[in-house]
Structure 1
Amino acid sequence: MSQTSHEMVRTAETTALRVASRNYQLYDTGDIAGVDEVFAADLVDHNPVPGAAGAVEGMRFLVEQVRDGFTGTEHRILFQQELTGGWVVNHWRMTATHTGDAFELTASGKPVAFNGTDLVRVVDGKITEIYHVEELLQLTLQVAAH
């Protein structure tokens, strides 16, 4: 039985939303190996990690920093919408406890909560392009507060 074109579009939408959400599971579980499952080898990162050899390596670095610097990490998607062309926008909130050194911030033992927004493009089941903005000032102020 063949799918109607509407059913195929719904399947693609579901895949894009699922892959876009899987990105946050990597951070919550510290699954560095999963980066290769979620991101395409030729990923374009419009906000690249300084000093990273490439975009995928930058994603590995970010997952590693969250894994090593925080415990009880949880990302909650506050808003998610699929757009045309495989694009998905996510607005999220990360909560955790800052228990290790990460992002040049010395472990503080303090609870943190900050938001971010990502715009990702999913093609053939992998993220091929990403724009990401994290509210790092919120994070920095929370770990530095007395």
Structure 2
Amino acid sequence: MSDLMTPINQFYAVYNDNNLDLWDQAMADNYVGHVNADTIPSREIGKGFIGALLTAFPNIHYTVEDMVTEGNKVTSRWSATATHTGDLFGMPPTGKDVVMIGITIFRIENGQIAELWDVWDQAGMMAQLTAE
């Protein structure tokens, strides 16, 4: 179980500790991500996306609400809170607080995350950011 949890803990520490250096430790060289309908084809592209997210929301904090393991997979249901204080893919900072929810399935290979499937309410986050 600890072999499964080490990369999961590193993954969430990337966000909660705003420590992008942990990304390379947590993610396998052959990492592939599936986020909503998009495919993130490499660890480096994923790292760039997460870096942009951490710039937009430097105080982001994830709370794992539930976690289930089976074989080499770990599923987490999570919530996150953050304040939009940096550029978000061209959207200037709004200063607004957001709450996000989602479910992530991780596939662990040799002590690292080789693949993940992440479904989260991106539209809900954008609605919070654009609300008057």
The percentage of counterpart residues that share the same residue type is 22
**Partner Cα distance (1:58, 1:28) in 2:** 20
The answer to whether the 8 A contact 1:31-1:63 is kept is no
Q: 2:91 aligns with which of 105, 111, 129?
A: 105
Q: How many residues align?
A: 129
The gaps in structure 2 that reach 5 residues or longer are: none
One-letter code aligned to 1:22: Q
Structure 1 position 16 matched with structure 2 position 4: yes
Q: Deviations over 1:92-144 (max 9, x none)?
A: 11101101111343211001111121111112210011111121011100110
Equivalent position of 1:81 in the other structure:
68
Note closer, same or farther for the CA distance 1:39–1:134 as it changes in structure 2 (3 Å cut). same
Deviation, structure 1 residue 78 = 0.8
Q: Which amino acid aligns with 1:66?
A: L
Provide structure 1 residue ranges, at least 5 long, that are not aligned to the other structure.
1-12
Aligned pair partner of 2:57 in 70, 75, 85? 70
Q: Does 1:131 align with 2:117?
A: yes
TM-score normalised by length of structure 1: 0.81
Please list every run of at least 4 consecutive aligned residues from structure 1 whose deviation after the TM superposition is greater than 3 angstroms.
none
Q: Which has the higher helix share?
A: 1
* C-alpha RMSD over aligned residues: 1.5
**Secondary structure in 1 matching 2:21:** coil
Aligned to 1:9: none
Residue of 25, 28, 42 corresponding to 2:16: 28
**What residue is the counterpart of 2:107 in the other structure?**
121
Structure-1 separation of matches of 2:45 and 2:75: 20
Say whether residues 1:143 and 2:129 are aligned partners.
yes
Correspondence 1:37 to 2:37: no
